[in-house]
C-alpha cells in the first residue's frame, strides 16, 4: 500500500484551487448570435469550467489518498501515529462532501442561466455560483491544509510489506547489528525513513531459494528499554510489531559496544515483554573476540564463524511463518 503513496498529488489550498478555477474561467469566452446568447453561452462555459476543475481536483484527492481501514496493521498504525487517522478520515470525508456540493451548485447555476432571458439574472446566477463555491471551499480549507501536510508525512513512511515473513534485528548500539544484517541480506540493504529515529530503518532481503524474507535493522528504536520511551515513541516501536515475525536479538558479550551484559539482558527482557508471542532468537556477536559459556549461538561477522548457522536458524524460524497470500518484494 505504501508504494501507492507516491501517486498522491500535491494538495492545493482553498485559495490556490479557487485561483486556478477562476483563472481558467476568466479565459472562457464563447460567441453567439447576439449579446444575450453570447453572455449566456459564456456564463455557462465559465460555470462549467469552474465546476469541472474543482470537482476533478477534489475527486483526485479522494481517489489517491490511501483508504486506511484496518487498525491492526503496520501501515495504518504508522499513519495513525504520524497524521492521526480520525482527522485523516474526517478531512477526506469533507473533501468528498465539497465535491458533491460543487456538482449540485454547478447544476443549479447552469439551470438558472439556461432558463434566464435577462442578462442581469444571468450575471446574478453566475456570481451567486462564484460566491457559493468559494464558501464551500473555504469550509474545507483546514481539511485541505491538513491533507497537504498528511501527504508529506505519508510519503515519508517506509515501504515494507506486512505480507512477507520479517526478521527484525534488535540490540544496543554497536553490538554488530548492521554488519550481520548486511551479511544475511542478499543485496545492499536500503534505508527507509521511520518516525522517531533519525537514522531510519534498514531493510534487507533474504531468500531460501523458495521464498523471500525481509530483514529489518532498527537503529535508534530497539536499543533502549521500552519502559524508558515516551508514549509516542513506544507506539512507533510497537507499530513494528505488526510486521515482526521473528526477532534476532544481538548481544555483544565483549561489552566493547559500551554496554554491560547486565544492561543488554535488561533490554532483552524489555523487548520480550513488548513483543510477547514473537519468536526471539538470541545470538552473541563478535565471537572472534570472545566465546562465552552461555550456550547461546555465537557468531562473528568478522570471520564468518557461525554466520551460516545463524542464517539457517533464522530462515527455519521464518519458514514456519504462514501468512496465507504473500507479496513479492
Ligand X SMILES: Nc1nc2c(ncn2[C@@H]2O[C@H](COP(=O)(O)OP(=O)(O)OP(=O)(O)O)[C@@H](O)[C@H]2O)c(=O)[nH]1
Considering only 14, 39, 105, 175, the residue that binds ligand X (CB under 6 A) is 175
CA distances to 145, 270, 304 from 58, in Å:
13, 46, 56
The footprint of ligand X on residues 273-292 (CB under 6 A) is 285-286, 288-289
Per CB under 6 A, 219 contacts ligand X: yes
Per CB under 6 A, 302 contacts ligand X: yes
Residues forming beta bridges with residue 197, ordered by sequence position: 194
Residue nearest to Mg ion (CB): 178
Q: Judged by CB, which is closer to ligand X: 302, or 326?
A: 302
Look-up: residue for cell 465546476? 51
Per CB under 6 A, 176 contacts ligand X: yes
Considering only 42, 43, 116, 178, the residue that binds Mg ion (CB under 5 A) is 178
Q: Judged by CB, which is closer to ligand X: 255, or 288?
A: 288
Handedness of CA 26, 29, 34, 36 (dihedral sign): negative
Structural Rg of the chain based on CA atoms: 29
Apex CA 139: angle with CA 135 and CA 141, to 5°?
110
Per CB under 6 A, 229 contacts ligand X: no
Kindly state the cell numbers that stand for 242: 505488526
Shortest spacing between CB 198 and ligand X, in angstroms: 12
Count the alpha carbons within 13 Å of 131 in the hemisphere toward its beta carbon. 6
Per CB under 5 A, 219 contacts Mg ion: yes
Per CB under 5 A, 189 contacts Mg ion: no
Shortest spacing between CB 251 and Mg ion, in angstroms: 15
Q: Judged by CB, which is closer to Mg ion: 91, or 178?
A: 178
3-state SS class at 324: coil
Per CB under 5 A, 218 contacts Mg ion: no
Q: Judged by CB, which is closer to ligand X: 98, or 222?
A: 222
Shortest spacing between CB 302 and ligand X, in angstroms: 4
146 vs 232: CA distance, rounded Å: 20
8: phi then psi, degrees, rounded to nearest 5: -65, 120
199 vs 95: CA distance, rounded Å: 35
3-state SS class at 248: strand
Q: Which residues bind ligand X (CB under 6 A)?
A: 171, 173-179, 219, 223, 285-286, 288-289, 300-302
Q: Which residues bind Mg ion (CB under 5 A)?
A: 177-178, 219
Amino acid at each position: 500500500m505504501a508504494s501507492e503513496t507516491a501517486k498522491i498529488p500535491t494538495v492545493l489550498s482553498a485559495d490556490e484551487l479557487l485561483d486556478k478555477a477562476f483563472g481558467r474561467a476568466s479565459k472562457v469566452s464563447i460567441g453567439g448570435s447576439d449579446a444575450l446568447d453570447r453572455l449566456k453561452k459564456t456564463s455557462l462555459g465559465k460555470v462549467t469550467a469552474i465546476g469541472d476543475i474543482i470537482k476533478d481536483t477534489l475527486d483526485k484527492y479522494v481517489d489517491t489518498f490511501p483508504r486506511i481501514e484496518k487498525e491492526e496493521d503496520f501501515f495504518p498504525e504508522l499513519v495513525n501515529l504520524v497524521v492521526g487517522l480520525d482527522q485523516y478520515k474526517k478531512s477526506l470525508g469533507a473533501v468528498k462532501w465539497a465535491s458533491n456540493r460543487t456538482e449540485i451548485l454547478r447544476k443549479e447555476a447552469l439551470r438558472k442561466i439556461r432558463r434566464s432571458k435577462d442578462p442581469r439574472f444571468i450575471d446574478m446566477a453566475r456570481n451567486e455560483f462564484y460566491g457559493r463555491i468559494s464558501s464551500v471551499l473555504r469550509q474545507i480549507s483546514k481539511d485541505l491544509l491538513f491533507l497537504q501536510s498528511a501527504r508529506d508525512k505519508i510519503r515519508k513512511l517506509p515501504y515494507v510489506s506486512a505480507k512477507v515473513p520479517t526478521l527484525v534485528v534488535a540490540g544496543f548500539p554497536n553490538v554488530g547489528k548492521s554488519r550481520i544484517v548486511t551479511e544475511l541480506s542478499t543485496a545492499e540493504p536500503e534505508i527507509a525513513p521511520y518516525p522517531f529515529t533519525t537514522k531510519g530503518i534498514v531493510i534487507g532481503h533474504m531468500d531460501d531459494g523458495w521464498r523471500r524474507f525481509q530483514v529489518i535493522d532498527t537503529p535508534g528504536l530497539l536499543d533502549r528499554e521500552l519502559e524508558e520511551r515516551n508514549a509516542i515513541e513506544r507506539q512507533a516501536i510497537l507499530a513494528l510489531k505488526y510486521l515482526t515475525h521473528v526477532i534476532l536479538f544481538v548481544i555483544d558479550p565483549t561489552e566493547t559496544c559500551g554496554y554491560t551484559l547486565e544492561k543488554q539482558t535488561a533490554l532483552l527482557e524489555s523487548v520480550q515483554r513488548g513483543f510477547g508471542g514473537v519468536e526471539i532468537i538470541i545470538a552473541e556477536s563478535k565471537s572472534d573476540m570472545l566465546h562465552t559459556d552461555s550456550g547461546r549461538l555465537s557468531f562473528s561477522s568478522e570471520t564468518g564463524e557461525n554466520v551460516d548457522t545463524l542464517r539457517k536458524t533464522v530462515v527455519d524460524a521464518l519458514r514456519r511463518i504462514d501468512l496465507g497470500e504473500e507479496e513479492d518484494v
